[in-house]
Structure 1
Amino acid sequence: MRHRAAFALAGGLISLVAIAPVATAALAPQQDSTLVPPVSAPTDNGWPTFPPAGDTPTVGTPSGDTTASPDAPAAGQPSAPAAAVARPQTGRDTTFVVDKVLAVVGNRPVLASQVDEELFSRQSQGTKLPESPDQVRALRREIVSSIIDEELLVQQAQRDTMIKVTDQEIADGVEEQVRKVRQNFTSELDYTAELRKAGFQTPEEYRRWLTDQQRRAALQNRLIERLRSDGKLKPVSPNEAEMKEYFGHQKASLGKRPATLSFRQIVITPQPSTRARAVALTRADSILQALRKGADFATAAKRFSQDPGSKEQGGELNWFRRGTMVPQFERVAFSQKPGLVSDPVESPFGYHLIQVERIQPGEVQARHILIVPDLDSARVRSARMLSDSVHALLVKGAPFDSLQRRFHDQTAERGAVNVPADKLPAAYAKLLAQGDSGTVVPVFTLPNGGGRDQFVVLQITGRRPEGDVRYDDVRDRIRDQLGQQLAIRRYLDQLRHSSYIDLRT
């Protein structure tokens, strides 16, 4: 039996792939970083999303059970052994053992070895498995059920002609995963030895397995994204009892709630003159003419773009969904045909030339060239004086909301609620380290690169000490995420009724 969970990629069963959009370090069992690289980063405010239950179906299993084992690993976390070596539980030679078929979904079998691997994976992470034979059998049935769910989604995605997963994107994902795993070993010999312990005879075998896992995960994700974008996977509203039960199963793994701060802010950004904007537009037009005469977009982006985040990548923005970019940019990106270059698009950042590379339901892959109008020192001084005036008005008791509506840069966040104090950006942390609720802190500068600093007028609205995580702290996250799970569960139930499933356990 191969305990390949030691080198698992982010993905796995459907409860890992499609339900939890962000994995959590603070809200999930710890991984062995020797073998498994981090899955994803926390959200911007330092709090990852509230995790669904583990690999077993969390809602609506065939038996009607609506809860998962409290010992199940959190969704979104790849399995990892507790030690650096993932050894089989038995030393017998299984070369000629015929794998038992537990179920058939369409024309694909669900094998006993898949369930054994999952059980070993959980045990390696420190999860205590049930001792009663009846409980073990029930747990194995739950794992089989979740494998069936995964296979149903994969097969449905394969039937959908609008869902495309290219060999190149899978190859790129495999290379990245191999790189992350390989960097944890000091030599190729150690790396291959650890692969063998996990059940892979060669690095090439590991790559082949990883390629299959990456492709299956991508198919599931694309299907869920397509269903959501088409309005066919609308969240189901869980009731209060379901939400509290869900919280009860997860509470033990949540740890302590960090000390947090809440604040609201008015961000004042220096604005270029009309003449500077006209000069920038003329420059963007000249680049556009060169592109339409055959100049290479990526080369032009490296030479002319003023976006430091994408310039060196030839303007590459990768895949993004609606709501990620400013509205002016998105209106063009989501309506433009691949390969074409847009006219200059003005946004609060400057003028963009946009080239859409690929599209799929709900998201776009694009490049851009950003031309930023010049900003003279007089405009910067004017913005600083304005921020000082706004600060003085607030200290004297002027309504914050009215000043924010009038002066705040609409591309900046209006504030934040319960941000962990140790996750605050450097520009904020020093000034917010002290001060009670209601304090208007001194105006400070938010570095923005290229001499385009912004000025921040900020008021602390709340401070909360470290403590236990309460239901009310995560209630909204539970509602959103459990609602998504319920919607997926309902869709899977429909697939089960319309698909061939031969359950042999």
Structure 2
Amino acid sequence: MKSKLTNRLRPLLLGALLLGGAVHAQVQPLDRVVAIVDNDVIMQSQFDRRLREVEQTIAKRGAQMPPQQEIQRQVLERLILEDIQLQLGERSGIRIGDEELNQAMATIAQRNNLTPDQFRAALARDGLSYEDARDQIRREMVISRVRQRRVAERIQVSDQEVRNFLASDLGKLQLSEEFRLASIVIPLSDGASPEEIQTAERQTRQIYQQLRSGADFTELAMSRSAGETALEGGEIGWRKAAQLPPAFAEMLGRLPTGGISEPVRTPGGFMIIKVLEKRGGSGAQIRDEVHVRHILIKPSEIRNEAETKRLIERIYDRLRAGEDFGEMAKSFSEDPGSALNGGDLNWVDPNALVPEFREVMENTPSGQLSRPFRSPFGWHILEVLGRRATDSSEQSREQQARNMLRNRKYDEELQAWLRQIRDEAYVEIKQ
């Protein structure tokens, strides 16, 4: 149960702080600053806790520990990037209230089929403080919303891009296999010189030869990769070929499970990919679709979280009193893709939606309103208009293509944005 719970919590408890052990009576050394990041600091105690958590994660994987200096460098870089994003969230007025945080904790417990008390006990058995885990979830929620505002919301996919994608050989693979992947990334900055490109390519080739000679991919990812998931052995989760840089598409079709790609140049540098698992394939599948419409209200620099919640609750009261949903969506909804259509999202595949929206939609009977609820996009009210079982219709194919193109653009844009905010931040390392 212990390892199973820890694995399920890992995406939400990324970098969760470990308990420091029993309290001792002797005098403890004073804390000190290890890095100044814009208007904030990273303390030695914070760095030490995160370092212990990473080392424990590596030990649980049974992998060889990378050099201590390399682990410390990557942990500090991760803390610096997190701190920059948290400060952006603070300046943007992003707040996670206690009620919303409690709901998130309850959702995690529910997904693991645990009561709140059982969840606390399970965390303690895994060596996690409930309060520290709760604080880390708050941090992750803030970072998620900062990325949503700064990266995801500016990504646009045109109808012509969707049509071109579906007509391409790559687009025809959209219902093909999915791959669970890990990556090793050797980055290149914008405007890299020919010498820098040659150096990065040479480093990537050396890593590739080590892998061909039997070196462990996880260990090399942790010690050599600059990817965001390097300390997780480079694992990036499930992807379709279409969600990756085009150069990898044909390679994935030929690689067996456990296979490793040759180095490929991408917009952000050079990358090597390993296929951990495969699933799916074949043709169209029957699936459930839901006809739903919604109203979205988003916090902003001029309207904080509490004011946004009060506004969505007033809209909910007016809908309950009989006002027309479509007209209210046109007047108030801040979803540019559906507001002018009265909030109508048409028939959607629940699996294409964020978990918070999907769960509320699944628990709302046809013809009824949901209560206001929070997702990474903001506060919603939804109304379920109908449900049906369908095969992979043309509309569904287009939506899948749009999602894949958005995911591809998001992955590339996120890496570029992270490099940008890191370059623009004032960082002074005191170690």
TM-score (norm 1): 0.39
TM-score (norm 2): 0.45
